[in-house]
């Protein structure tokens, strides 16, 4: 994380289970809690994608602040922050939110798209159906609420869908963690969105961990594993931002020294736990002082581009929203230096499934000699899927196309019908961009060609998938 730290502000917040906050000063290697500072006598443990933990010796802070600020967790931990001298031999390492490279800011305040509270068996999410005109947090306290949030796109973006599903499974096991409940909850969540591979990946990972355990142990283990999935997403996105920034530094801006990058849909902070995928390099460039401007495709019919514009504005990144069909003329007119998009699934051969309309931008890029990059974490790779033809494409409700949604003059949600209810429409949510049109893939391990050989060069352990 050293490169990530170098890109961060001197102080950055990170969320600890129980809604405690601390900031890390990476120069003095100290920890600041509630305004108090102490040197870290710490061991940082980063596991093999099943653990992302920090156990720190914070005796000085505990003495100064008092034990009341280290709230006891109900999931088998003696205290939220445990000094190494007091750490029992059978203690479980405490999952926390690692430092947030390129963390999303809302009015200067680092904010995540998902907040977990295992003590209350709930998570809070941003209702993305109410953006960009209203920032509204929704509490998820049941399996049904988690499934509805994913299905109705209150949460969206493959990485965030996966993390939400993991937490949804943990919530579902509260009070009943028997085998039947585990399978029922997994099936309910798994049926919500078929294209985003992170959903199945997260649920399969949770089941691998939970199935061998006794039911009495499953709930606490589920919360810990869901936290690990969320933290790993943040770390992966920070690394994607670092590798993508290296690519952007190699580009020579076509106009006025400003790097103009186009994106499609929303692959930013709102589509992940934090940091984003396709937007991570752009946030990194902006935070590093690089002059960057983003062309934001509106992405009909759900208009996810408006979410991109909303979060870019909150972070202070210059941008312009365009109609989807305006992308071609901008690419042809030399007003775009590169296109970066995210992905909902990447097949073994490098074919990419992403929001419908992505394929058209890739075609225009190739015709005009403009780089077309795809940024996605390893959890989006699907080596069990041979190519794009095998990727299931979700068909959304036709009323998403027949009706326009927004807010009336009074600021209340409103809908306007533009097509009759019986008008036949097609509303595929995704399309597939062939690997031959992709300049490069950006994952947390680096940059590679969009091919099986390229993916295996960075992720050899996936060869058996």
Residues known to be catalytic: 344
The 3-state secondary structure of the chain, one letter per residue: CHHHHHHCCCCCEEEECCCEEEEEECCCCEEEECCEEEECEEEEEECCCCCEEEEEECHHHHHHHCHHHCCCCCCCCCCCCCCHHHCCCCCCCCEECCCCCCCCEECCEECCCEEEECCCCEEEEECHHHCCCCCCEEEECCHHHHHHHHHCCCCCCHHHHHHHHHHHHHHHCCCCCCHHHHHHHHHHHHCCCCCCHHHHHHHHHHHHHHCCCCHHHHHHHHHHHHHHHHHHHHHHHHHHHHHHHHHHHCCCCCECCEEEEEECCCCCHHHCCCCCCCCHHHHHHHHCCCCEEEEEECCCCCCHHHHHHHHHHHHCCCEEEECHHHHHHHHHCCCCCEEEECCCEEECCCCEEEECCHHHHHHHHHHHCCCEEEECCHHHEECCCCCHHHCCCCECCCHHHHEEEEECCCCCEEEEECCCCCCCCCCECEEEECHHHCCEEEECCEEECCCHHHHHHHCHHHHHC
Instruction: Give the distance from CA 284 to its chain's centroid.
Output: 16
352/339 Cα distance (integer angstroms):
14
Asked whether the beta carbons of 375 and 278 are under 8 A apart, the reply is yes
What six digits make up the tokens of 26?
């990476």
CA-CA-CA-CA dihedral for 140, 206, 16, 284, to nearest 10: -100
What six digits make up the tokens of 45?
């443990």
What six digits make up the tokens of 160?
């965030």
Which residue bears the tokens 């690519």?
A: 247
Buried b / exposed e over 393-408, threshold 16 CB at 10 Å, is ebebebebbbeeeeee
Task: Tell me how far CA of residue 407 lies from CA of 68, 102, 412, 413, in angstroms.
Answer: 44, 31, 5, 4
465/345 Cα distance (integer angstroms):
14
């Amino acid at each position: 994380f050293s490169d990530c730290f170098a890109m961060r502000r001197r102080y950055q917040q990170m969320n600890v289970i129980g809604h405690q906050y601390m900031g890390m000063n990476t120069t003095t290697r100290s920890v600041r809690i509630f305004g108090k500072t102490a040197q870290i006598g710490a061991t940082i443990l980063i596991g093999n994608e099943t653990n992302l933990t920090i156990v720190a010796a914070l005796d000085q802070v505990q003495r100064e602040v008092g034990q009341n600020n280290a709230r006891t967790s109900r999931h088998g931990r003696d205290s939220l922050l445990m000094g190494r001298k007091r750490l029992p031999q059978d203690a479980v390492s405490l999952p926390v939110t690692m430092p947030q490279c390129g963390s999303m800011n809302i009015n200067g305040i680092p904010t995540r798209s998902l907040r977990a509270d295992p003590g209350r068996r709930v998570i809070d999410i941003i209702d993305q159906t109410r953006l960009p005109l209203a920032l509204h947090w929704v509490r998820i306290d049941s399996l049904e609420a988690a499934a509805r949030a994913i299905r109705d796109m209150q949460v969206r973006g493959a990485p965030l869908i996966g993390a939400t599903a993991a937490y949804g499974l943990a919530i579902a096991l509260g009070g009943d963690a028997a085998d039947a409940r585990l399978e029922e909850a997994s099936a309910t969540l798994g049926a919500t969105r078929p294209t985003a591979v992170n959903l199945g990946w997260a649920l399969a990972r949770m089941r691998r961990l939970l199935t061998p355990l006794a039911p009495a142990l499953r709930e606490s283990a589920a919360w810990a594993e869901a936290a690990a999935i969320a933290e790993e997403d943040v770390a992966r996105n920070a690394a994607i931002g670092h590798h993508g920034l290296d690519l952007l530094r190699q580009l020579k801006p076509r106009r006025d020294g400003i790097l103009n990058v186009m994106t499609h849909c929303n692959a930013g902070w709102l589509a992940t736990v934090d940091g984003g995928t396709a937007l991570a390099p752009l946030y990194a460039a902006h935070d590093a002082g690089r002059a960057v401007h983003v062309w934001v495709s509106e992405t009909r019919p759900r208009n996810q581009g408006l979410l991109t514009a909303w979060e870019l504005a909150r972070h202070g990144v210059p941008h312009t929203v365009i109609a989807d069909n305006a992308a071609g003329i901008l690419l042809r007119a030399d007003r775009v230096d590169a296109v970066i998009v995210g992905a909902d699934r990447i097949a073994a051969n490098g074919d990419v499934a992403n929001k419908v309309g992505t394929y058209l931008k890739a075609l225009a890029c190739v015709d005009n000699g403009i780089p077309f990059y795809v940024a996605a974490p390893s959890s989006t790779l699907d080596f069990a899927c041979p190519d794009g033809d095998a990727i299931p494409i979700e068909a959304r409700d036709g009323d998403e196309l027949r009706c326009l949604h927004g807010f009336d003059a009074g600021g209340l949600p409103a809908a306007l019908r533009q097509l009759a209810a019986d008008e036949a429409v097609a509303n595929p949510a995704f399309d597939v961009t062939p690997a031959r049109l992709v300049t490069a893939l950006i994952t947390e391990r680096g940059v590679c060609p969009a091919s099986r050989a390229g993916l295996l060069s960075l992720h050899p352990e996936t060869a058996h998938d």
